[in-house]
Amino acid sequence: MRARLQNFSIVSLRDLVVASGPTILMVAAALLLAYWWVDPAPPRTLRLATGQENSAYESFGKQYASQLARDDIKVTLQPTLGSRDNLQRLLAGEADVAFVQSGSTDGDTMNADDGDAAQRQELVSLGSLFTEPVWLFLREEARVTKLTDLRGKRINLGPEGTGVPRLLRQVLDANGIAPPELQIGDLANTPATVELLAGRIDGLVFASAPEAPLIQMLLQTPGVKLFDFAQAEAYTRRLPFLTHVVLPRGIVDLGRNIPAQDYHLIAPTATLVAREEIHPALVGLLVKAATSIHGGAGWFQQQGQFPSPKYTEIPVAPEAARYYRDGPPFMQRYMSFWLANLAERLWVVVVALTALLIPLSKIVPPIYVWRVRSRVYRWYGELRAIEQALEDAGLEPVDTVRKDLLRRLDGLEDRVNHISVPLAYADELYRLRSHIHLVRERIRGVQEEEPAASPLAK
């Protein structure tokens, strides 16, 4: 009995769901369409071109992979020769993001016929990350005190893909030194360091952040000295993409006073560059990672100096500029990356759907009422058919006709007794039962003396 009573409620959930079903399906379809059409979801993989083994680019690349893994973005690191190689991979579509050295996009870097301006249209900067001093390490026996002393020396500039050879050629040209006057090597950083320590070359050149393991090692290696660019300020005037930085005395090891003097260095700037079609959400995520990795104080930078939209010759992506100006998007401050991204992509659609739901909400109630009442009204057709059969039988139907009509009426009443309607519409059900009772009485001849009008004809 209790289970039977639970079938009656104020509202029929089943009818409500069915009545609102088309509306729910329309809204769900619109949301699904918007999810894919308004702005595609960010990819879960990213290709980052880094640099040579034991380079700062390689070290930082691993940190970016670790940072983005926290937001379920898998970063595939691509070891490369260096800046120019990275730039070519970006333009070829073989990498999504890469570390690029300032000055790499000048002149004939890309060897393209259309010029750098056309090529840069495919790339955007996500900000400058750190300065990359030019480290010219020499064996003390080489006795080099000025760049002109490099004539005839065996100097390793590294592979062309690093960007260092072109940079040094510009520096040498500023000093009136032609490349053929040197014995130039093109070994990668690690084998070149081995050659230097073995005494088979006189010097080597890196352009790297001081965090690179080879830089740290060579700064503390006896018999190897760092060249002091005493004219560093003049170089920055001749080559605008360079900045003048100072390696302070004792910065490597205060106790052992390494280095024993201040060193003036010239430094391009490392920039995080991406292809123009990179997903906007990933731009903010990369800038956030860059802030975490490069935002602290260092040997050549103050707290908060990097990353920065400055010091870059490639146009800054609008999303990156907005991040530097306003900080992370509002929702990403309080939600996970993927949840915030979904909300940011759909909020415009939600507003539009809200406007759509207002008229749709006026359709659902009438449909609901019709469904509940139709459960009762559908039986009036059969009741009217029984009553019509009685009328066709005449004023005094035979007993067999009466019995047949009563049997049909009993079957109808039994089915009606199993109807379940919300309590708010119980009066419709009881009205149907009373009409069934009236027709039964008429069939039994209770109203023969004064036939009443059909209860269904009213």
pLDDT at 117: 47
The whole-number pLDDT of residue 417 equals 84
Q: What is the mean pLDDT of the chain?
A: 83
> pLDDT at residue 320 above 90?
yes
pLDDT in tens, 409-446: 888 888 888 877 777 778 888 888 888 888 888 888 74
- Residue predicted with more confidence, 70 or 21: 70
pLDDT at position 447 over 50: no
Residue with tokens 């990403």: 332
pLDDT in tens, 390-415: 888 776 667 788 888 888 888 888 88
C-alpha dist (Å) from residue 132 to 56, 77, 262, 290: 9, 20, 17, 16
Q: Using CA atoms, how far apart are residues 198 and 251, in angstroms rounded to an integer?
A: 27
Q: What is the reported pLDDT for 378? A: 82
User: What separation in angstroms does the CA of 3 have from each of 9, 129, 272?
Assistant: 12, 70, 68
CB 166 within 8 A of CB 84: yes
Which pLDDT score is estimated for 154? 96
Predicted confidence at residue 31, as pLDDT, reads 67
pLDDT of 342 over the 90 cut: no
Q: What is the pLDDT of residue 355?
A: 66
Cα separation, 283 vs 125, in Å, equals: 10
Q: Is residue 20's pLDDT more than 70?
A: no
| Buried/exposed code over 310-323 (b: 16+ C-beta within 10 A; e: otherwise) | ebbbbebbebbbbb
Residue 194: predicted pLDDT = 95
77-133: pLDDT as tens digits: 999 989 989 999 999 999 999 999 988 775 444 444 333 544 456 899 999 999 999
Rounded CA gap, 171 and 314, in Å? Answer: 22
- Give the residue with greater pLDDT, 53 vs 29: 53
Please report the pLDDT score of residue 76 as a whole number.
97
Residue 356 confidence (pLDDT):
66
How far is the C-alpha of 147 from the C-alpha of 176, rounded, in Å? Answer: 10
- What confidence tier does 141 reach under pLDDT thresholds 50, 70, 90? very high
* Domain range summary for the chain, segments of one domain joined by +: 13-25+347-444
Q: Is the pLDDT of residue 232 over 80?
A: yes
The helix (run of H) or strand (run of E) holding residue 71 is: none
| Coil, strand or helix at 248 | coil
What type of residue is 101? Answer: Q
By CB atoms closer than 10 A (0-12, 13-18, 19+), residue 346 is middle
Query: What mean pLDDT do residues 208-221 have?
Result: 90
Of the ranges 94-108, 177-191, 348-362, the best mean pLDDT one: 177-191
